[in-house]
Amino acid sequence: MAEAGKLTDPKVTFTFCLFLLIVYPFLSSAIRNDVRDIYPFQNTSLSFEQRVEDLVSRLELSELAQQMAKGGGSKEGGPSPAIERLGIRPFQWSTECIHGDSAPGYTTSFPQSIGMAAAFSPSLIYEVAEAISVEVRAKHNDFVSKKSYVEHSGLACFSPVINIMRHPLWGRNQETYGEDPYLSGVYAAHFASGLRGTHPRFYRAAAICKHFDAHGGPEDLPVSRLSFNAIVPERDLRMTYLPQFKACAQGGALGVMCSYNSLNGIPACANKKLLTDILRTEWGFDGFVVSDAGAIEFIIEWHHYLNNIIDTAAACVKAGLNLELHPGYPQGIFDSLEQVVNDGKLTKEMLVERVKPLFLARMKFGEFDPPETNPYTQLNLSDVMTPEHQALSLKTAVESFVLLKNKGFLPMRDRLKSIAIVGPFADNPDQIMGNYAPNPDPKTIFTPKTGLSPLADTSYVVSGCSDTKCLDYDVEGIIKAVSKADVTFLCVGTGQAVETENFDRPSMKLPGYQPFLIQDVIKKALGPVVLLVFSGGPVNIVEAVSADNVVAIIQCFFPNQGTGVALYQMITMKSSLDNPAGRLPFTWYATDEQIPSMTNYSMVNGTYRYFNGDPLFPFGYGLSYTTFQYNDLVLTPTKVKAGDNVTVTFNITNTGSLSGSEVYEVYMSWLNATVPTPKYQLVGFNRTLIDKGQTVAISTQINSQQMAVWVDGKGFVIEPALGPVVLLVFSGGPVNIVEAVSADNVVAIIQCFFPNQGTGVALYQMITMKSSLDNPAGRLPFTWYATDEQIPSMTNYSMVNGTYRYFNGDPLFPFGYGLSYTTFQYNDLVLTPTKVKAGDNVTVTFNITNTGSLSGSEVYEVYMSWLNATVPTPKYQLVGFNRTLIDKGQTVAISTQINSQQMAVWVDGKGFVIEPGDMVVYAGGQLPNQKVQVSSNILRTVFTIYT
């Protein structure tokens, strides 16, 4: 008998080797089966955490390193390798599913995220996420059954994108849920919950919230996203850029993706404050952090924060990074982790801690439990692109549309003889999909052409441009189509060819010749025009908004596969569910000049929460085919102990002639905060179907966390209310009190001038109104300008734009302005005569009634304007005034006179001349046609001068 290890017979040796080759596959399989129930991590009676502790304790250093290095991103980056000796198979982490599964093969395509946000419906995003995760799991199961671990076949959805849409020109706005952190947070939590599923033990699929954090542009303008350093004040970080990530992390997500940019000088993927101090310590997150693709490499290549692989890998792991998403290089940064430990820059124990969340996630997916115990392992390709998912995609598209303008034209109920469907989105299936789009079966894709053509007997379809960049323009074809159609549907926008990852837009201007396309259609269309806008952010459509023949405008976003059918249903309102109720999840700026700097991450004048201008359409804007009335707003309680919640109730009545959904929006403002706060903050919203004539009762809650403000050095603080403020101004002319005018807790402002010796007593009498004579009736004898820029040059003595008589702007308070504690009504303005011979006087009579609850004096003001003068004249000229005491309920008759000299104008070479023509007379309690109004009305009439 040969000694062990000393077989010398070639026959015996050959036979032995052949035996091993034949049985090895069965032996390997047997190992994987036999190891079940051998190790504690395979014991399903233990908790996931206990099993993970056991599993990672058995991993060698090289195995730990490779689990962290293979997060996907390319064939070099994944899958995470098998650990045969423990019966652990390969695992592919990555897939993209912001609006459908991006795995190879057909899957259902839902509207892009920004459109789903416009639905303002948490339940809808939950339904969509459920459907997406069913398809993600079904595709994953199919790939694993074939032992395929290709890119985008995993269960960790690198979704949702919850960066704030802080800048309208950022290339990736379409992937977000808009500009509000609360809206984004509610959507993120519902999306994460929908992906997870309802099983008490296993996840169907999981959300990976991205991109953490302060990542909202630039992509490439004016600098690259790969090197950008976002300088963010702590208060803005806490109140704008972090809340939605907290909601996502605490809403069921298993991971967070760190971003390319630096935050206040430290790259996000090496930022301990973000990844450990805030995410894990403050929020209690026990999931993993994965890098964006190549973000670790770019710490060296673009940020120049560190200059070598070893230190970079060590810094990222220490900061809290668990997993590298690969950039497609031959070797990733985390491929060096074994060497980093051997060099003493990290410990094996640190890698053990970082690998634990990775295997905890895999435990939650059910990888280490018997398949028969996990219902999600039963999903298969028959669960992909089901009729139910197709119907949900269509429903979501309809609910995502925002009606921006409607001159009573929609809904359309009658079939037309002819329509024109024109523009680069008329029949462009690729560009209606958006970034990271799934790949639906082509048979399920309906463009505006295929969806809207059934509206008419004949459809003229002309794109006018070869693509959405519209660098060429078929003007003749467009004009020919629109000049013979009963109705024109004009389809314009951006698409991912223009508005996309890696590229920012330089302005809101529509690309290429599209502005000329709009102009030509407006000028040449035979019938009314309906404008359909396909974009992720605002574009310049000012001309269409003001054009009379543009009878409707619909913001479509990127509705995906059911676009055309969804538009048909909304435009014709097939059912009450098709009545539009979408709302803009961003501010639609009127001009590029209103847009803040792309690189300025402070929130000053940014988004609706801090914006001080007049947008084209505000955040939360959207029209319906019906009307709604809100009533009976009640807060319970009205005095709230810090830390308690407030219940908000109100009623909504559908007062129109059609049933439809309404999106209610609840906003909150801080009156007494000691730090800067948003002007308005969305704190509640939802979408509810209301039949015509029906009243529904709404109840929502403002929780204590929503009342908190960030105070540097203290953290989030719920500040108590402060007392009201009365501002007393002592000056001879206007001073800047704009902030006080707009502050809600400044409850009164009194212009005191210089009252001299009796100042205090006089103020006491007015403030307490000791008698009716103390009811204020004073009027400003000057224009109180809003800004220094409105003030003319000190040395310019021409009257151009000077004083109320020639001023063309909007003052803070106009000449003749002043309030009372009561109200007055002016009536019965009569001029005698109404045809006046030059040189004669005019008598002005009218009545004033004290319609308020207090007696007091009223100052009436009579102004005159020249309509036909041959020389420049004042816009308004005071020609009569007085102060009269009127008891409550009393009516007094006023009579005053405009003499002929007041009607004269100076004509060079002639002197004062009373020219023939019409003169307008105004009588009331202030200067006519002012934005700031007093508590009385103004009467107007005309008299004519003849010679």
Residues classed as catalytic: 292
How many whole angstroms separate alpha carbon 304 and alpha carbon 265? Answer: 11
Residues with Cβ within 8 Å of 224's Cβ and at least 6 positions away in sequence, in order, are 218, 302
CA 35 to chain centre: 52
Q: In 3D, which of 527, 275, 569, 211 has the Cα closest to residue 401?
A: 569
Cis, bond preceding 213 (omega within 30 deg of 0): yes
Task: Specify whether the CB–CB gap between 41 and 119 falls below 8 A.
Answer: no
- Cα torsion angle, 246, 247, 251, 254, sign: negative
Up-side HSE of residue 688: CA atoms within 13 Å toward CB?
19
Q: Say how far apart CA 172 and CA 170 lie, in whole Å.
A: 6
Instruction: Say which residue the tokens 């707009």 belong to.
Output: 742
Maximum Cα–Cα distance across the chain: 145
Q: What is the DSSP string of 692-710?
A: TT-EEEEEEEE-HHHH-EE
Determine how β-strand 156-157 pairs with β-strand 262-263: unpaired
CA distances from residue 228 to 265, 315, 397, 601 in whole angstroms, order as listed: 9, 19, 35, 11
Name 869's Cβ contacts closer than 8 Å, sequence gap at least 6: 905, 915, 917
Distance CA 82, CA 87 (A): 8
Other C-beta atoms lying within 10 Å of the C-beta of residue 901: 10
End-to-end CA distance of the chain: 144
898/523 Cα distance (integer angstroms): 48
What's the angle, vertex CA 640, arms to CA 634 and CA 641, rounded to 5? 165
Q: How many whole angstroms separate alpha carbon 22 and alpha carbon 19?
A: 5
Residue 27 CB burial class (10 angstroms; 0-12, 13-18, ≥19): exposed
Q: Is 165 left (phi over 0), alpha (psi -120 to 50) or beta?
A: beta
Q: Counting every residue, how long is the chain?
A: 947
| DSSP conformational letter for 84 | G
**Sequence letter at residue 887:** D
Amino acid making up residue 50: Q
